[in-house]
Amino acid sequence: MLIRVPAAPPLWRRGAAGQIRAMPLLLDLPDLAATEALAARAARLARPGDALLLEGPLGAGKSAFARAFLRAATADPALEVPSPSFTLVQSYDLPAGPAHHFDLYRLSGPDELAELGWDEARNGIVLVEWPQRLEHLTPRGALHLLLTPGEGDARAACLSGWDARLEALRP
């Protein structure tokens, strides 16, 4: 069962360097449509150089979020978006520039990213499933999205990063 999180004004805290940072945004996503709507909001805000780090257990909705993000970003609801589980990365041409969807589940660590074109991909938008495999290559300023499955297609989302844009992800 998901815990309903009421809409609330953003909370702020001071970061290590004294900068003001937004506290995580907690969202209840009761169905696939809510997850897709969140992905569409993120697609509108994303720009080249951004990284979206999708965390959560198997079946939490990481691929569903990425698929909805890419469909919204291309304005093509029928866009074929296969899971990159076996290819490890799928690339897309968006109006704002390239996007790359990485699934790092089968990687043993960040040393294997170079042969996948990680450095070049960072010029565009990257969506990364299993981002803990990035280790020291985790991009600064990334949007961290932790999905926790609930019943059926319901899930909870905890978002952090994207300090200036985080609040715009609230429904």
In a domain, 17, yes or no: no
pLDDT at residue 99, as a whole number: 96
Residue listed under structure tokens 């300023």: 141
Percent residues over pLDDT 70 in the chain:
86
Residue 94 forms part of a structural domain: yes
Q: Is the pLDDT of residue 85 over 90?
A: no
Task: Residue 29: give the domain boundaries.
Answer: 25-169
Residue 2 lies in a domain: no
Is 73 contained in some domain? yes
Could you report the per-residue pLDDT of 70-81, keeping only the tens digit for each? Answer: 999 999 988 888
pTM: 0.84
Number of compact structural domains in the chain: 1
pLDDT of the residue at 164: 84
Cβ neighbourhood burial of 124 (10 Å; 0-12, 13-18, 19+): buried
Q: What is the pLDDT of residues 102-159, one digit of tens each?
A: 999 988 888 888 889 999 999 999 999 999 999 999 999 999 999 999 998 899 999 9
- 102 CB burial (10 A radius; 0-12, 13-18, 19+): buried
| Residue 57 confidence (pLDDT) | 93
Alpha carbon 25 to its chain's center: 13
Whether 19 maps to a domain, the answer reads no
Can you give the pLDDT at residue 3? 43
* Rounded Cα gap, residues 126 and 47, in angstroms: 10
Q: Considering the domain boundaries, does residue 41 fall inside one? A: yes
The CATH number of the domain where 157 resides is what? 3.40.50.300
